Amino acid sequence: MSERLLQASGSPGFGPRMMRISKGPWMIRAYKLQDFLMPGQFEGFGYRKIFVQEQVEAAIEHGARQVLLLGAGFDTLCLRLAPQHPNVQFIELDHPATSAAKAKGIALEGQSTNMFQIVADLGERPLSKVLAEDGRWDTSLPSVLVAEGLFQYLTDEEVRGLLVEAAASTSLGSRFVFTHAKPGYRKLVTFLTGLVAEPWKSAVKSEDLPEYVEGTGWKIISDVDTDEAHGVERYAVAERR
């Protein structure tokens, strides 16, 4: 599904040829080089996907009626889970350009009536305002928000601001599933991603998260993540209190 979404996007570099090259020996060597610089990060993407899906499914089992993926990118979670949970609303939010590129693939996959996209740059408009203006998000429903691979593109101040905004838009008991960069890699990653993409701007130790989110309306309910298999990121779950 990821391949189909990327190809349908029509974005330069995501044609069938690039898909083939991506699985070829040279590209695999390049992934290994990335792994040498950021140990475990490549395989970590797989663990990240599994973690987020398990946490979202657990939250739905716990009563969540809305799922909001912040910075959804080309993630397939909503497309896969929406048909299985017709009573849950699935929402993806991302930048205008990314959302438009993904919309082409979503149309081809077949969009469930309980799934939709919201187009917004969270750097420019606060989340609570974006959701209120869209009108489809119900702040009174138990919900689960996801920020997978997003926080490192925001400053620490912006991350805490986003948590405050998310708290203002959700009912008590809602969950926030997120991943964050661990300190120590920012300069290296900033150099590497600076060549092709956006720099990393924030990082926090897993053990410092309770203090990091203090006063935002969220409380960390997951254990300290010490798993080296998660590469240069760590995973967490917070609950709206």
Burial class (CB in 10 A: 0-12, 13-18, 19+), 105: buried
The piece of 3-11, 92-100, 200-208, 214-222 that touches ligand SAM (CB under 6 A) is: 92-100
Candidates 9, 38, 75, 235: give the one binding ligand SAM (CB under 6 A): 75
> What are the distances in angstroms from CA 131 to CA 6, 189, 197, 214, 217?
27, 32, 27, 24, 18
Burial class (CB in 10 A: 0-12, 13-18, 19+), 16: exposed
* 149 belongs to the binding site for ligand SAM (CB under 6 A): yes
The piece of 10-18, 35-43, 93-101, 165-173 that touches ligand SAM (CB under 6 A) is: 93-101
Please, what is the minimum distance in Å from the beta carbon of residue 172 to ligand SAM? 26
In the bound state with ligand SAM, the residue whose beta carbon lies nearer, of 54 and 211, is: 54
In degrees and rounded to multiples of 5, residue 167 shows phi and psi of -65, -35
What binding mask, one character per residue, do residues 204-233 give for ligand SAM by CB under 6 A, x or -? ------------------------------
In the bound state with ligand SAM, the residue whose beta carbon lies nearer, of 130 and 209, is: 130
Q: Would you state the structure tokens that stand for residue 120, as one six-digit string?
A: 């917004």
* 10 belongs to the binding site for ligand SAM (CB under 6 A): no
* 95 belongs to the binding site for ligand SAM (CB under 6 A): yes
Residues near ligand SAM, by CB under 6 A: 71-73, 75, 94-95, 98, 121-123, 148-150, 153
